[in-house]
Structure 1
Amino acid sequence: MNATLKRLFDILASLGALLALTPLLLLIATAIRLDSPGPVLFRQRRIGLHGQPFRVLKFRTMVDRDPDAIDQHQEQVVSAGIDPRITRVGRLLRATSLDEVPQLWNILRGDMSVVGPRPILPEQVEVVPPSYASRFDVRPGLTGLAQVRGRRTLGWIQQLEADTEYAARHHLLYDLGLILKTVHVVLTGQGIYGEAGVNWRTYRDSLRNRQQGDTK
């Protein structure tokens, strides 16, 4: 019953938001096309419910690059608003989280939910310890517990802890509370470019160093 209500809420919320935000979406799309060459949308492979891959949608905020050609193991973390990869319009979209709005279509399709763990990259799956695998038992979300607890300021394991806590506790009223908290986080700009916690690449490297030390 909880899953049915959650899916019904996702459909109604995403459809209503897409209809209401159509003028804004068209304005953003126009601004992106005028600001820099390349597509309006950025499509990237992510891992969703039960480990199934899908293409997440975002407004393009960086210079045009083929998402499948990006080496995620070597990709640099985005740094504040001075990152040369980010376009002028992209800086505004990231600061307001408007770059994520196209994921309403992912929600309507059933790839995602309004609330849930953020969808991760295929490369990140290898550094999800088995004890946190329950994060894949729910659809990834546009927002979630990790987002209201600190976003990028959380370390990789802290994010996974929040994801698995959500997977164990989620219900419709809980989701509504997280949505309200998300509004506050977005309006105040919390956790966008603040001092970041240990990211998944750093965590991966620490695991490798530990394994190499054990074999010596």
Structure 2
Amino acid sequence: MAVHFHEEDLPAGVLAGDAPLAVDTETMGLVTRRDRLCIVQISDGGEDEHLVRFAPDSDYAAPNLKALLADTNRVKLYHFARFDLAAIEHYLGVTAAPVFCTKIASKLTRTYTDRHGLKNLVEELLGENLSKQQQSSDWGGADINEAQRDYAASDVRYLHRMREILITRLEREGRTEMAQACFDFLPTRARLDLAGWEEHDIFHHS
């Protein structure tokens, strides 16, 4: 297993094929339009993870990465896709779909708990411990240390295996169709966030 670090784009030909892609982002904060995109993590479920780091003055050209993210033949796996989709669309200008979100799948199947964080899922579904120590670190610095790199890579390392388990649970509970409808709506939900409706439920009566 190796973590590959790239500046501004993926090398050509990396992650070829049609396997689903696990995707995550690291930003300077949680306000997408204010807090710039610093890193995109991506994996095809093999032994390696790839991190693409963007400089403060980046133009976010990244043609190879964008082509992968925009490929409608490859499912993109996320944990809390709503945030990552918005960051990718705002900074990279592509819709990184179709989508499978492990957080939504968890909420639709693990109704016996309110613990739906990535760490919680990895521990329960896979029996592994996921450190979140670097979660609030500075992703915009000149140097990204080994602890940060491993943390970032771990955010995509487990998504393929968890997806398979969650697919089985969705089928067991008769919620596959409902989950897919949620996944299909997520790019629009992200656009609503970017357009200013992040705190407003436009489906609510009031």
Q: TM-score range by the shorter chain?
A: under 0.3
Q: Which of structures 1 and 2 has the bigger CA Rg? A: 1
| Higher strand fraction (1 or 2) | 2
| Higher helix fraction (1 or 2) | 1
Q: Which has the higher contact order (CA 8 A, sep 6+)?
A: 2
